[in-house]
Chain A
Amino acid sequence: DGGITQSPKYLFRKEGQNVTLSCEQNLNHDAMYWYRQDPGQGLRLIYYSQIVNDFQKGDIAEGYSVSREKKESFPLTVTSAQKNPTAFYLCASSSGYSGAYEQYFGPGTRLTVT
């Protein structure tokens, strides 16, 4: 089955610790995205990557870092510099080619930092 997997589903961390959220896709998509969703809000873009070894900051990149060493994988690290990291994190991918703009989403990771 083709799709996007995110792990873990729930993650708890203490303040001051870095934490890495996993995102893997087997859709052969070039573009991958990380979003953050807070209660009652839409999705806000953290980082996106159009090809391997390249990524761009979204609207709220401060306190986050990413890497794109493989096409299938786009891990997100929430660093201790992120002031309010508790949120629902969604990873998505799209083919990136003209006429195929639809994004596919993973199931999300709910991060709680205390």
Chain B
Amino acid sequence: EDKVVQSPLSLVVHEGDTVTLNCSYEVTNFRSLLWYKQEKKAPTFLFMLTSSGIEKKSGRLSSILDKKELFSILNITATQTGDSAVYLCAVYLIGNQFYFGTGTSLTVIP
């Protein structure tokens, strides 16, 4: 059975802290891994990772994939209250199917 596990389930940090969110997966027919941010509505796309070891970066957010160990991390540096959201990890499988993890709820306190 395909499985995507995110950790931690929830996290509370202070503004300025750096956080690392984890996503591990056990799936067949892996094509890519995606990260989304969800703030009480539709998820918005952050990153798509296909190759191991290549960091994707956007401002204070960065992500990397390890296809040998089957995991990805999402780093957020210098966190701000606007980063408070649920962060979802999804794997994209051959056959155009996406499989989501349960998400990590991040709360950033001023």
Contacts and interface: CB of A to CB of B under 8 A. Distances in A.
B106 to A, nearest CB: 14
Contact of B100 (A44, A101, A107): A44
A105 interface: yes
A35 interface: yes
A50 interface: yes
B34 A101 contact: yes
A94 B101 contact: no
A108 B98 CA distance: 17
A102 interface: yes
B103 A94 contact: no
B45 to A, nearest CB: 5
Contacts of A102: 34, 45, 48
B102 A103 contact: no
B96 interface: yes
A42 B92 contact: no
A107 B43 CA distance: 9
Contact of A42 (B48, B96, B103): B103
21 contacts: A35-B100, A42-B4, A42-B6, A42-B101, A45-B97, A45-B100, A48-B96, A50-B95, A50-B96, A56-B97, A94-B96, A96-B96, A101-B32, A102-B45, A103-B34, A103-B45, A103-B98, A105-B42, A105-B44, A107-B41, A108-B42
Interface of B: 4, 6, 31-32, 34, 41-45, 48, 88, 90, 92, 95-103, 105
